[in-house]
Amino acid sequence: MASISSHFRKGRINTRLRLWDKAIESYKKSLKLDPYFKEAWFNLGYAYNNQGNSDEAIKALIQAILVKVDYTKAWNLLGAFFLKNHEQDYALISYKCAINLY
């Protein structure tokens, strides 16, 4: 059985290669083994966004923040995703959280 870190590494490699479906699959496998792995949630959100699935990207980033509420990097990227979706109010809240935590 593959480990959490091996699935995560495969996800990162596939992310670098821009193989979004494979990256998403690997991050999901690592999260199945450890649902509190904030970096996997963050990278899953990043991969979903690059795949064009902004709703799933936002959900993944919110999960990362639920795991670690002071995850500044996730708050910042969440703001960017909300802004991209023309949800300025949510983007502003996310950016304010990121700034206050920094």
Question: What is the DSSP code string of 12-37?
Answer: HHHHHTT-HHHHHHHHHHHHHH-TT-
DSSP state of 87: -
Model confidence pLDDT, tens digit, residues 47-68: 999 999 999 999 999 999 999 9
- pLDDT number for residue 102: 79
**pTM, two decimal places:** 0.93
The CATH superfamily assigned to 4-101 is Tetratricopeptide repeat domain (1.25.40.10)
pLDDT at 1: 66
- Render pLDDT for 1-32 as a digit per residue (tens, 0 to 9): 689 999 999 999 999 999 999 999 999 999 99
Residues of the chain above pLDDT 90, percent = 95
